[in-house]
Structure 1
Amino acid sequence: MVMTGDTRPVIRTPDQRIRVFVSSTLHELAGERRAARAAVERLQMAPVMFELGARPHPPRDLYRAYLEQSDVFVGIYGASYGWVAPGEEISGLEDEYRLAPARMPKLIYIKSTDERDDRLRALIARIQTDDTAAYLHFRSEQELEEQVAGDLATLLAERFDESRVISELEPDVAVPSLISRIPVPYTTTIGRADDIATVRDMLTAGTDRVVSLIGPGGIGKSRLAIETALATEDLFPDGTYFVPLEGVLEPGLLLPTISFALGIRDNGEAELEERISHALDARRVLIVLDNFEQIVDAAPVLVRLYTVAPSAVFLVTSRIVLHIRGERVFDVPSLSMPVGGFPASLDASTRSAAVALFVDRAQAVRPGFDVTADNAQDVADICRRLEGLPLAIELAAAKMRILTPSGIAERLGKSLPLLSAAVRDLPERHRTMRATIDWSVGLLPEVQRDLLEDLGVFATRFTLDAVEALGAGRSWDGQALDALSALVDGSLVKQFDMGGRSVFSLLAIVREYAIGRLKARGEADRVRAAHADYYSGLVHRLAPGLGGTGQADAVRQLGLELPNLRAAVRHLVYTNRLDDAGDFAWSLLIYWWISGFFAEVRLWMLELLEKQHAHPITQRTRAVAWFLALWGEMWQRPSEQVVAGLGECVRLFTEAGDDDSAAMALAARATARIQLQDFDAEKADAELREAVGRLRDAGNAWAEAITEVSLGRLAWVRESTSDALAHFDRAAEIAEQGGDLFTRSVAGNLRSRLNFQLGRIDVAEIEFVHTLTISVGLHYDEGVAYGLEGICAVAAARGEAWRAAALAVAAGVIRRRIGIFDAEAFTVHTPYLEILRGRDAAGVAAGEGAGADLTVADAVKLALPGDEFARVAEAVSHW
């Protein structure tokens, strides 16, 4: 099979699975669809099988959105052209093919048959002239599965070398945000087309600022939110962001979590709410907030956000209504069930959604299963007893590996009434869902049941290594892999790839069940302590790499573990291991700075300080807590009290014998002093110089380089440009020697700006280019904006009106998106652009018009020479 088109899709990392859209008629090719899905999943890709196939009345907007989210089109054609709905000229089958983007590779499989509809023959003839499509004939389902798997593997192999760019940067430096990406649905979504359309209509109307999807756990709120987000991307041209809140338990963490998803780095220099409102201003975005019920007290924050950002819309999933103005509630219904006491339909086209879901999930564990005259009543009874709750149905269907429908129905009939009676304080559907989990877990062997309960201490996701570390002394010690695999088979644990590794997760309601059982056994604190110890050890292993050559990998690994880092430090504070909590937070100081989590850490440290009266802490822990609590105050509300507080940190660190940390606190005190309106420049300079010397003696190259940057900024403000350049030179040299790319980019941006102001255009351009490539590799938005502005200034100085203006606007788009703004003293491009505007107004205006439409990749390509862009093309393609 040979592809003749010019499309060259990027090879994605495992956390961004390639999505394969499968198009075919429904009933005629049901077996072939199962074969195609098996082939796609064999290659760890994600099958996109819209509502089990092209339907008589296809919701065009929905499958258009699915197609736009997909990477490969697979068309399977047999004898039937498909039904043409009233008022339509073509079938859904042909419409899906036509709507597939031109850039998308198309793999077409034609079933050998003696008869074929004339219109399908015509469609196939057109496909054969499409140079982005390749086609083969097949005879059996098994042959089709092998062909699809082989062709997808070949497609990837052909493009792998073309998509791989060897960069001089660290090989794993490019780390796109995994948080804000809409999760890939790894199984078919069934029975939600009407709900998706209804919620889309709510969002389209634009009259409601918050649309809340309300319902009990297990009813499918998160899946509906995900599918709606995928189906409404055309309504939100400025982006859709998915913000999981499952591991966020403190209302004060809502803003830091949203800012992280938006790509806003919280370095403490401005109020988060101000930066978020700045980033959302005039942008039509959808922000999905999943599992809001546990921080419902933070709901008024959404009102403040949509007040200052009137173009932003929030789609919320919650078990309870938020009760804020601007909220529109959609009660998520159960799936439709067989009416009355009737059995399930033998005809797939007339089945209820609940039955269709049961059959689909049952086929995953027992291929070939379907509704028959012998089991139709049992299948219907199962769906009715489970009240159409999707998760409950999936758990029951997973038991088809060992039970028949009759066996499942019988056991549910005996168990559910008794189990739900034990939790009468819950609403009806909550009781049913909890009872179903209890029934499903009750069928597990003791080892698997114990493991599931212990897994409740993990937040959001976890690795096999982490699970095995908790096993010491537990009943499942040494059996983690087998027991975990069994839980995956039973649909109680989900497995997926993220960041190049296999990870596991529990649904929120299963996690609640597990931790509740663990508490009832009196084991929760013990297992949580083991969890905190494991992640404390992980932090201490990774932290030394944060300041040097291991920086990119350490930041990536810590980012993937962030929910469990939160859970670990929360447990340490909760169980009064306050010194351990302080050490944990201080070890990650560089991570908090690079990734921007100071507001979050501040909450933990303030809680720690509140508990110190009843639970004494060391002087070093007190210094750590005060330092991290005062960091944001230093920038946002500078005062003599903040300066004095950081001075107290210097004293406490010194008395504790931690000279390294004392020097960092001294540098912070000097920086806080500079923020005062009438600051003592000589004193600040002396403190910074003293801190540099002490940090050098301590061997803390990262902090030494950062402090040299602060000295350079101070000298620049004091108009001592030669001293400023010397400090920036020293900072860049230290960072480069240690492999600290982040600080190298910060120092380089400042040095190149100053060189430009001094008229050293060629020197400045070389460094602007270099720091831009570093920032792209780091996925550092601020650095990219600075680099684009720098090259804009060079272009303006050389009279390149269109290019300079386009880069200025592109950089401004990034600034607004991440809510950053700078002191005017360090801005270099705007004066030169204004001069150029007076000379070539038309060229500047044309460039500004074009710049607004540039993607980040387009802007970087416009800024960099061809050979430099080739080095970062792969990294920037992820943005």
Structure 2
Amino acid sequence: MLEEAEVGASLFSQQEWDTPPLSTLTTTLANKPEAVPPSDLANQPLQTRRHNLPTLTTRLIGRGWTAHRLQQLIGRDDIRLITLIGTGGSGKTRLALSVAREQISAFEQGVWFVPLAGVNNPALVPVSILQALDIPSPPGFAPSRSLITYLEQKQLLLILDNFEQVGGATEVIEEILAAAPGVKILITSRVALRMYEEHAFSVPPLDVPDPAVSLVPNELLHYGAVQLFVERAQAVKPDFALTEANAATITRICARVDGLPLALELAAARIRILPPSSLLGRLEQARLTILTGGAKNLPGRHHTLRNAITWSYDLLSPLEQRWFCRLGIFIGSWSLEAAEALMQEMVGEDQEVVSAVDMLEQLADNSLIVQIPYDYGLARFTMLETLREYALEQLDKHDNVTCLRNWHACYYLRKAETGEQALRGPQQLVWLARLSADRDNFRAALEWSLQRAKDGLKINTLPRPDRPQDQQSVAGSRILSSKGRARTDLQAHEFHLRLAAALRPYWEWQGYLTEARHWLASALALPVADDAGETLLAARAKALSEAARLSSLENNQERAKELVEESIVLWQRLDDPEGLAGALLHRAWVALATSDYETGRAACQEGLDQLAHTDAPWLRAQLLFYLGAAAGFMGEFRRMEALYGQSLELFEQLGDISATADVLKDHGAMLILESRFADSIRLLSKSLELCYRIQQKQYLTTGLCWLSIAAGLHGKPDETQATLYSAQIKGAVEVLMGSIGLNSWAETHPFIQAVEQYIRSRIDEESWEAARNVGRSLTIEQIMDLVRTIGEGL
């Protein structure tokens, strides 16, 4: 039987051969191992076989580049120990076996696979390797000594699979590397060995298409996750196919399971009885519950995704387990600073002092979290959603989830309000990146606070008497700056209003106007009690003002006027000069958009009067800016120039590039009224370059709107070409407006419409439409090239 199975007698130990029932077979066993002194082992050849790799019954999918890179590493003379590291179910073993098969001829004594999943004692690792090599270990000699002696003169590749639970065997690895220069070792593990000689090689999930991008089936099959899912689904349901009808659903299924090969295979197995839409619905409700089953000949840990994760979870210490679960409270990704803040908050909950850096490093070594690169040197970490679901399951059993969610919400309120201020100064690009990175966490905090507010609850955090009171100011309100700092018992209603209002500038900057309207509407829909305190009323007044800004950008000026006037009444009642000045600014914006220039000028002037005894240079610059716009609309161009100059000087002193671009944009637009088209194009082009550099999508879109008019009226290099330029930019603007949810007041203004019709009339309708369609197809980079072409033609 052993001969038929092509395995040696050393499959069993000498003690097993000497005891029943194997001892009864000795009369027919021709190749019973004899005791061979270690000194003779080095000269003992391997069997004629060059490997013991199990036969692969399925092809390797989606690992082309990864496999090629691993082949290169194995071929390097300076690398002898490679550890494939990845979470459970990421396909480490499958990758190792596929690559190893290509390496058989590269090693004189071949390639040898050593499965260690069933080994829990590090001392048994040398025995397992000897058994895989079919080399007997003589009685009375240590297996490690026999192994080292045998390997000294050999040239082979050892694959040690599932090494994570025998990490104490690293001493054996060191001895092999030191004594056998011809031996290379490829290890698969969920945990990094952290040896000096180790070359860690991360095995990520398969690539997954972005569910937000619509792709046809042939394009989707370029993604490894989709390939694997479709192929495994066809194995259980031969008539299954990727079609136009189910493409989007399958894309979402692949994203929902994080592109993990094991999860994809378990999900695909369900296609036998569940259509893709039903499978997706169940995955969205509870991934770990539906991802069960699997092939009967797979290890038990691969029969469910929960088993695979539990295998990794059980390798952690109790303290590491607690912090793995607590980190599940973050959504998407989180910063090192956020993890440190959470660990400081939980002091007293654990007996041991926790270093955030050490804990994150340990969890990353165990393939449970991943460090991700980010701009501006920000260290960030993430957790696969399947792992996060498991972490929250465990958290719900062992920790106070409500307390942690409250902490999470308060942390991100402080971050949002700090970011609102920072977006007005020299660090605005750094903070734009920080806010963008935490977009999912902000959404989670908004959802949590909205639900708590509907239930009439508070956002309570852990009591920390040793923590100094947060001294940050809140933009746009004296009351919120002095009395509304994040407390340990903040009303969820106030919280939700403040968070939605603080994020409005970020949402507008990034072009997320639809999302901004949704959250501010949900905040303002909450009923206000008659006995509401002044901080709640201040939070509502600010939210009303910010919502007015958004309604005006939607060109719903009547609604904007209602919102901002309610805000003004509240600020006057609260006697908050800074809040009132901000609301008056937005009132002026509505007035200018409806050609009510006297009201706009009066609102700006009143706002400046409110700031007479307040240190608010940014808000003062904004009021001067819109006061200049009112002067320009009223034909007072000299005054307009002076006011724009004062505003621009203040913004430049503050380091606010976004506001600087806004002033240049509006100044350029105003020059159209003076027929100074070349000067208008210069200022608009300068503004657009700034907007492009800082990714200010709202100002970029409105700036292009004005450039379309200025270029058309300028008539350079000739009227026909200038009109075609205008049409192309017009098409680009239409696409951009749709993508960010903007509906500019200029689109319905009678004067602007008349000017656009005049430009359009200079060429035939067919040429105009053709040029506009070209503009609709341009990328943002191509749009900027067109802007530069127009600017160079002045």
Hey, what does 2:580 align to over in structure 1?
A: 662
Cα deviations across residues 289-321 of structure 1 (Å, max 9, x unaligned)?
xxxxxxxxxxxxxxxxxxxxxxxxx99994439
Hey, what does 1:263 align to over in structure 2?
A: none
Say yes or no: does 1:809 pair with 2:728. Answer: yes
Alpha-carbon separation, structure 1, partners of 2:211 and 2:736: 16
Q: What displacement does 1:755 show?
A: 1.6
Q: Counterpart of 1:550 in structure 2: which amino acid?
A: Q
Cα distance change, pair 660–629 in 1 and its aligned pair in 2 (3 A): same
Superposed, 1:414-813 pairs within 5 Å as 433=306, 436-438=308-310, 440-472=312-344, 473=347, 474-475=349-350, 477-499=353-375, 500-521=377-398, 523-572=400-449, 574=452, 575-576=457-458, 577-578=490-491, 579-595=494-510, 596=513, 597-606=515-524, 609=527, 618-633=536-551, 643=561, 645-672=563-590, 681-695=597-611, 697-714=613-630, 727-785=643-701, 786-787=703-704, 789=708, 792-793=711-712, 796-799=715-718, 801-802=720-721, 805-806=724-725, 808-810=727-729, 812-813=731-732
TM-score for the superposition, normalised by structure 1: 0.51
Cα distance change, pair 633–691 in 1 and its aligned pair in 2 (3 A): same
Q: What displacement does 1:736 show?
A: 3.0
Q: Counterpart of 1:590 in structure 2: which amino acid?
A: P
C-alpha root-mean-square deviation of aligned residues, in Å? 5.7
Say yes or no: does 1:320 pair with 2:196. Answer: no
Structure 1 residue matching 2:332: 3-state secondary structure: coil
Q: What displacement does 1:503 show?
A: 1.6
Hey, what does 1:857 align to over in structure 2?
A: 781
Superposed, 1:352-371 pairs within 5 Å as none
Cα distance change, pair 767–638 in 1 and its aligned pair in 2 (3 A): closer
Q: Counterpart of 2:249 in structure 1: which amino acid?
A: V
Structure 2 residue matching 1:837: 3-state secondary structure: coil
Structure 1 residue matching 2:362: 3-state secondary structure: helix
Is 2:681–2:711's contact at 8 Å kept on the other side of the alignment?
no
Q: What displacement does 1:450 show?
A: 1.0
Is 1:221–1:317's contact at 8 Å kept on the other side of the alignment?
no
Q: What displacement does 1:843 show?
A: 9.2
Q: Counterpart of 1:567 in structure 2: which amino acid?
A: A
Structure 2 residue matching 1:459: 3-state secondary structure: coil
Is 1:602–1:629's contact at 8 Å kept on the other side of the alignment?
yes
Cα deviations across residues 334-389 of structure 1 (Å, max 9, x unaligned)?
79965x55xxxxxxxxxxxxxxxxxxxxxxxxxxxxxxxxxxxxxx333xx533x5
Q: What displacement does 1:461 show?
A: 0.8
Say yes or no: does 1:194 pair with 2:109. Answer: no
Q: What displacement does 1:669 show?
A: 3.3
Hey, what does 1:834 align to over in structure 2?
A: 760
Alpha-carbon separation, structure 2, partners of 1:806 and 1:197: 51
Superposed, 1:224-263 pairs within 5 Å as none
Cα distance change, pair 652–24 in 1 and its aligned pair in 2 (3 A): closer
Q: What displacement does 1:865 show?
A: 6.8
Q: Counterpart of 1:605 in structure 2: which amino acid?
A: A
Q: Counterpart of 1:861 in structure 2: which amino acid?
A: D
Cα deviations across residues 628-682 of structure 1 (Å, max 9, x unaligned)?
4555455658587864553342233244342101111123234445667xx8653
Gaps of 5+ in 2: 1-61, 107-181, 186-209, 215-219, 266-275, 459-489
Superposed, 1:27-38 pairs within 5 Å as 31-32=74-75
Structure 1 residue matching 2:517: 3-state secondary structure: helix
Structure 2 residue matching 1:504: 3-state secondary structure: strand
Superposed, 1:370-389 pairs within 5 Å as 380-382=298-300, 386-387=302-303
Alpha-carbon separation, structure 2, partners of 1:141 and 1:807: 69
TM-score for the superposition, normalised by structure 2: 0.55
Q: What displacement does 1:601 show?
A: 3.4
Cα distance change, pair 78–709 in 1 and its aligned pair in 2 (3 A): farther
Cα distance change, pair 817–767 in 1 and its aligned pair in 2 (3 A): closer
Cα deviations across residues 80-105 of structure 1 (Å, max 9, x unaligned)?
xxxxxxxxxxxxxxxxxxxxxxxxxx
Cα distance change, pair 610–142 in 1 and its aligned pair in 2 (3 A): farther
Is 1:532–1:568's contact at 8 Å kept on the other side of the alignment?
yes
Alpha-carbon separation, structure 1, partners of 2:417 and 2:247: 43
Is 1:468–1:477's contact at 8 Å kept on the other side of the alignment?
no
Structure 2 residue matching 1:860: 3-state secondary structure: helix
Is 1:745–1:771's contact at 8 Å kept on the other side of the alignment?
yes
Cα distance change, pair 607–859 in 1 and its aligned pair in 2 (3 A): closer
Structure 2 residue matching 1:495: 3-state secondary structure: strand
Cα deviations across residues 125-153 of structure 1 (Å, max 9, x unaligned)?
xxxxxxxxxxxxxxx9999xxxxxxxxxx
Q: Counterpart of 1:834 in structure 2: which amino acid?
A: R
Q: Percent identity?
A: 19
Alpha-carbon separation, structure 2, partners of 1:483 and 1:211: 37
Q: Counterpart of 1:519 in structure 2: which amino acid?
A: D
Is 2:648–2:663's contact at 8 Å kept on the other side of the alignment?
yes
Cα distance change, pair 215–205 in 1 and its aligned pair in 2 (3 A): closer
Q: What displacement does 1:447 show?
A: 0.7
Is 2:81–2:184's contact at 8 Å kept on the other side of the alignment?
no
Alpha-carbon separation, structure 1, partners of 2:712 and 2:105: 60
Gaps of 5+ in 1: 1-18, 56-74, 80-139, 144-177, 228-313, 324-331, 342-379, 393-432, 870-879
Q: How many residues align?
A: 548
